[in-house]
Structure 1
């Protein structure tokens, strides 16, 4: 994600990447090769404390988010952070509290926050085209986890920080929260792989997740699997009495008036890392964070996600 955001920043005239840091020498060398004008600092603190830096983008593994984001906000820097907000609910709450008192722009990068399909869903709901809402379904499947393009991010395979519930399901929890309000996990959980002879096997992330939640009066059903023989699938379905919608593979929106699914014509720009970075840059200059999730929203999402791992959002870990 850091690499993608660097490429996006290069397309924006009013955004200049002046400093960066990565603990991985391989990642640092990759940045030097593609972006020789970016100065790489000796540590994260040097980036945060640089007088040339107005805003900090954080794409580290999530266990580091709290320390880095809070330090940046205390230094008066705006913060654009990758999701999940944090791993522990305690850290997420610390981050949200710091954001509330910092007086700087802050946002979390959910891929669906400015997606054209999501804006169309909002329009259709506001216009009453859905009718009565019967419920929402989230269906995910992964033949391989982590996915091939994430092979270098080994933490994604582990139970402590990774797994598809945190990495992927969080996007659809955010979408549901955005459209219908905060979710209450009624009955949620994950299945872990059988313990094996190696530590890596024992620490592996979930292979299945299931859940029943409510967003206000809207029932929400989750069914997700990893390591299965089948296609990679991302589906979020809104069932209405007058019209239903299927969001498939992040940007394909289909509708049904009672028959088969038919593509919905989308006229707005698709939404991308570059458009969300541009929205954040506008917020840094004093604009609003429209169509971006703030830390408070991301905390609500994190509390739901960690409930799947049987962590009570009302208590700190270990209690």
Structure 2
């Protein structure tokens, strides 16, 4: 009888854990951090307890939507998990604070700038055993899930290649006005900010990536401060034994382009404008998902937080691991810095 009660108590505890609302805090209230204030407030699995940013202006802009803590330590102290949304140079310090406090971690990408520092950080995260992941939107976005399912099932036939094409008429983009560090090459640029998402997606879809060639140019020369204006890269993709090419640029009038195509022997599929999924068997593209871009964006954020809740509950999830984020960071820094590249 006692054993039965104990068993029932365990089941009740598990049920409570499964149904629990996760108390979360945010460190960093720039462009992305502010967006997640809204997303956490909308999601039924999360209670956004507090947030903080070193900028008083950033805190003031968000104080109507979230309680502003006195500092980062105050955020960490009163929650189950922390979303770290500061610029990448500061990720390591805040992740280490969360590890010391034994809190769950949801870190913005890229993981960092120094690959050596990130290797040390990943080792610490893995050793801790705490729930920890990195915010790559294609961890759960319906467009990414649909693409991966089509490749895995063989619906597109044998994979021939991947093509990643990007153009930004202005960088940083207008909605990045609170993140001007993205303009500088020390920790910004669209290769780190945007290409990283697609390298993560390509690795999950096509297998581990190996850089085979790369070239980068800058508007103020190789020793300047501004981020890249053009970048190209070639990769070998592991499991599918295919190649991938990335071509990107910024500046110049015209619509922005963000397109990732996986070409197969039966059909091809592309993710267009982040959340649109399209397929083709001939001369034109057909939509696979809704064409409502706003709805697709909301669905992607909701799916990401669904998976984050599963991660915090110790259940199977698709949130990017710190190890996956490190692999992406290594590729990004190889593209940007010739001395980091393997012997090509």
TM-score > 0.5, shorter chain as reference: yes
8 Å contact from structure 1 (residues 140, 225) kept in 2: yes
User: Gaps (5+ residues) in structure 2?
Assistant: 1-31
Structure whose alpha-carbon radius of gyration is higher: 2
- Taking the aligned partners of 1:314 and 1:93, their CA distance within structure 2 comes to 17
- Structure 1 residue 173 corresponds to structure 2 residue 199: yes
- Structure 1 residue 77 corresponds to structure 2 residue 103: yes
Aligned 1:22-101 pairs, distance under 5 A: 22-35=53-66, 38-41=67-70, 43-48=71-76, 50=77, 52-101=78-127
- Partner SS for 2:82: strand
- Taking the aligned partners of 1:304 and 1:181, their CA distance within structure 2 comes to 14
Quote how far apart the aligned CAs of 1:151 are. Answer: 1.4
Task: Write out per-residue CA displacement over residues 151-183 of structure 1, whole angstroms, 9 at most, x where no aligned residue.
Answer: 121100001010000000001101100112211
- Partner SS for 2:255: coil
Count of aligned pairs: 304
8 Å contact from structure 1 (residues 188, 213) kept in 2: no
- Partner SS for 2:89: helix
Structure 1 208/214 Cα, relative in aligned 2: closer, same or farther at 3 Å? same
Quote how far apart the aligned CAs of 1:19 are. Answer: 2.5
Structure 1 65/144 Cα, relative in aligned 2: closer, same or farther at 3 Å? same
- Alpha carbon RMSD of aligned pairs, Å? 2.1
Structure with bigger RCO (C-alpha 8 Å, 6+ apart):
1
8 Å contact from structure 1 (residues 138, 236) kept in 2: yes
Q: Name the TM-score, length of structure 1 as normaliser.
A: 0.90
- Partner SS for 1:86: coil
Q: Which has a greater percent of helix? A: 2
Task: Write out per-residue CA displacement over residues 27-74 of structure 1, whole angstroms, 9 at most, x where no aligned residue.
Answer: 010121333xx1412x323323x1x21101000011000111122123
Q: Name the TM-score, length of structure 2 as normaliser.
A: 0.83
